[in-house]
Structure 1
Amino acid sequence: MQTLEAAAPPLPHRIAFISIIAFWTLYFAVLTFRALAIYHYHYGMAARTIVSVAGIGITILFYLILRRIPTTRMGLGITVAALLAAPCACVYSTVNYYAFRQSAMEEESKSWSKKAATPGTAITQPAMTVGAMKSHDEMSMLGEIADQAANGYFFFASWASLYLALCYAARLGAVERRAAQLQAAAQSAELRALRYQVNPHFLFNTLNSLSSLVLTGKRDEAERMILNLATFFRTSLTGDPTEDVPLGDEIQLQRLYLDIETVRFPERLTVVIDLPEALRSACVPGLILQPLVENAVKYGVSRTRRPVTIRIRAREEQGNLQLTVEDDGDPMENDAVQGTGVGLRNVRDRLAARYGADAHSLWGRRPEGGFSVTLQIPLVRDGC
């Protein structure tokens, strides 16, 4: 099984090479500026070029070895980098010593030649060359290389720190992307599960009503009910639960559902739908009204013996879409109110998964009897 850490890809070669070239370009620029500021001419330009090119090659080898260390083990990477920086610094210091030694000899030769070609000029060593030669006399070759290696060590250690930081950032980015993918997958699964929680009692009751229609010889009503049931389930189960649908289609699907229930309660169920034409294209999560309409039928219509009206209303309120499903059934007892909780939690959780804090829901018993639920979501037109 792939873990989040294992999913992190290694640092691309391109980024590593750019960092290496940038480091050594900075080295070249700083030393060149220093030479211009102190000596006022391009002393050691060829030597710095050789050292910079050699440094790039050494650092690339350093990188290729360091790359083989798993980036998920930061402690191991730091240890290996600290150890590898030492031989790299020694090689760099050796190249630096011989490159600048050769450059100093060439500068000395040019200076002597120029002095010798000028009539009446005393031939003496320039102060810079004398200082350089004095430094060589005072320090052995190995001592000078070791001194330069100490500086080089911190240079390689600095690049290794940058490399490990980039690896860590890449791994962290991969973990965040993987976590986002898992979160999106979990959210999609949650939306699917919540959307497909169609009350099984609806199907059982519908089949019982269908059976009664067949037994009583009401074939036309039975055929219409079968067609409505097939259309309802085909529409509700084939749509993508993570996508929105036009409000007009959502209410049409609820109208289809209520037509099926009207067969069960032909004398007791009245449906009123108040949908302004301007809001028909508003986008809503598919089947978001289904649990609310189911509750209205189950607790508003089936519990009474008198006609009950279920009203579905849509309004625009300050840039938001407000949806209300209410019934005027008998006053509900506390246990009946608690029974509506599953469907209401379903709707609330779907709104939270889809809109976060931008969606709100409010429900409760109506003073005149029955139950009312109001949803408020951002109003988006023609985007679904």
Structure 2
Amino acid sequence: MTKPLNDVHFSAWRRARPDAQAALMSITLFWAFYFLVTTVRSFVVGFEDPVVMILPRAGVVLFGAVITYLVFLALRPLERMALGWRMMAYFIAAIPASAAYAAWNYTVFYVLPPLDVMLPEHAREPTFAKAVIESSFGWYWFFCAWAAFYLALRYANEVRNAERRTAAWRAEAQSAKIRALRYQVNPHFLFNTLNSLSALILKQRTDDAERMLLNLSQFLRKTLTDDPEQPITLAEELEHQRLYLEVEKVRFGDRLNFDFRLEPGTELLLVPPMILQPIVENAIKYAVAPTRDEVRISLAARRVHDRLEIVIRDTGTAAPGPLDNGLGTGLRNVRARLEAAHGRAARMEVGPADEGGFVVQMSWPVDVIG
């Protein structure tokens, strides 16, 4: 969907704001602090009427803030340069800025009346040029201090923005990875199912074909419509697997049997959607398909303290297929999804069962609805 024009402009304005925000914040803080310190000093030193000096001092401070902001605007095109070059530019720009401020400061306090009320006699400067030159040195370092403070704030903003962008990209990459792993349904399942449907129709086993097609459509609808990043209850996940196994049972008949055993209460615990699918597919591919004997696929779930434990085993006699570092592609995808969802808290163990067949045991911290 195309963004409204005002949203696009607002987003662009927000992206352009950080430097202006940092400049205004640093200017406000610096000049407000100077105004506060000099006002307190006027009372402490004992000027004849320090209250009268507050208004002209406010005018001088406002002028200084304006000059500082003009420096920022003049050097704003250099924002993309390296930090060292920007700092050098600000230190150079501080020379005319400090001279302009010193001239205005002298004019307000030493030229405009009423001098006798505002300042003691000994505070008067002899000449305009000498006063401006001498005070410019002090104000130069004030402007340099502001420049360093502003650039530090700006750099901190840049670092924060870079961290946010990195976090957003990392989250997007993680989301894409989860989606990719989520949708890796074995295409052979679809091909085999369609072939089986064709065979059932040719044999006029319309009831079996209809049941197989209904289960397949429900399974695919759930597979494609569920949000791969939103967990579902264990009961919903087992319904997905039941539909899948019902489709395969039409294909394999009495060679395939399955059962689910859930500890009361575990059906409401949350799991990543379709997390069991690759494991069940492996059991069909490597335990059921290669043999003419009956194979049982069993799934058991229980809660052990604050963890959900799921065990899937089959009674097949065939090898589980090629393994890479102990895991095949489907099982590696399961482990990757568990780690994406729960990090190091997820556990997964695979291997031959003591009583024969193959077993996969997984556990992760309990997550419940709401």
TM-score by length of 2: 0.88
Instruction: Output one character per residue of 1:50-91: Cα deviation in whole Å (capped at 9) or x when no partner.
Output: 321221221222222233332454233222211211111001
Q: What is the letter of the counterpart of residue 101 of structure 2?
A: Y
Q: Which has the higher contact order (CA 8 A, sep 6+)?
A: 1
Between 178-187 and 219-228, the greater mean CA deviation after superposition: 178-187
Partners of 1:110 and 1:146 lie apart in 2 by 22
SS at match of 1:213: helix
Give the alignment of 1:248-267 within 5 angstroms: 248-267=235-254
Question: Are 1:32 and 2:39 an aligned pair?
Answer: yes
Q: Aligned letter for 2:30?
A: F
Counterpart residue number, 1:65: 74
Greater displacement, 9-18 / 200-209: 9-18
- Residue 102 (structure 2) aligned to one of 82, 87, 93: 93
Could you tell me how far apart the structure 2 residues matched to 1:288 and 1:72 are?
49
1:313 maps to 2:300 = yes
Structure 1 residues 31 and 330: CA distance shift in structure 2, 3 A: same
User: RMSD across aligned C-alpha pairs, in angstroms?
Assistant: 2.4
* Residue 177 (structure 1) aligns with: 164
Q: Name 2:266's counterpart in structure 1.
A: 279
The residue aligned with 1:328 is 315
- 1:196 equivalenced with 2:183 (yes/no): yes
1:53 alignment partner AA? L
Counterparts of 1:168 and 1:340, CA distance in 2 = 46
Q: Deviations over 1:300-341 (max 9, x none)?
A: 1122222111001111011111111111211637x5555961
User: In the alignment, which of 197, 201, 208 is matched to residue 210 of structure 1?
Assistant: 197
Match of 1:341 among 303, 319, 328: 328
CA change 1:72–1:247 in 2 (3 A) is farther
Q: CA deviation at 1:195?
A: 0.9
Secondary structure of the corresponding residue to residue 78 of structure 2: coil
AA aligned opposite 1:356 = G
CA distance in 2, matches of 1:70, 1:26: 26
Q: CA deviation at 1:22?
A: 2.2
Superimposed CA distance per residue, residues 278-308 of structure 1 (whole angstroms, 9 cap, x where no aligned partner): 1212111110000000111111112222211
Q: What's the counterpart of residue 225 of structure 1?
A: 212
C-alpha distance in structure 2 between counterparts of 1:72 and 1:375, whole Å: 52
Please give the alpha-carbon distance, in whole angstroms, between the structure 2 residues aligned to 1:242 and 1:263.
31
- The structure-2 alpha-carbon separation of the partners of 1:56 and 1:109, relative to structure 1 and needing over 3 Å to count, comes to closer
Do the aligned residues in 2 keep the contact of 1:17 with 1:60 (CA within 8 Å)?
yes
Structure 1 position 359 matched with structure 2 position 366: no
Q: Which runs of 5+ in 2 are unaligned?
A: 1-13
The residue type equivalent to 2:349 in the other structure is: L
1:107-122 pair list within 5 angstroms: 107-108=115-116
For residues 110 and 179 of structure 1, what CA distance do their matches in structure 2 show?
A: 56
Q: Distance between the aligned counterparts of 1:63 and 1:377, measured in 2?
A: 54
Moved more, 361-370 or 58-67: 58-67
> % of aligned pairs identical?
40
Q: Which amino acid aligns with 2:341?
A: R
SS of alignment partner, residue 254 of structure 2? coil
Is contact 1:35-1:41 (8 Å) kept? no
Classify the secondary structure of the residue corresponding to 2:274. Answer: coil
Distance 1:185 1:108 in 2: 69
1:125 — aligned with what?
A: none
TM-score, length of structure 1 as denominator length: 0.85
| CA shift digits 1:155-201 (9 cap, x unpaired) | 11121222222222222222222222222221111111111111111
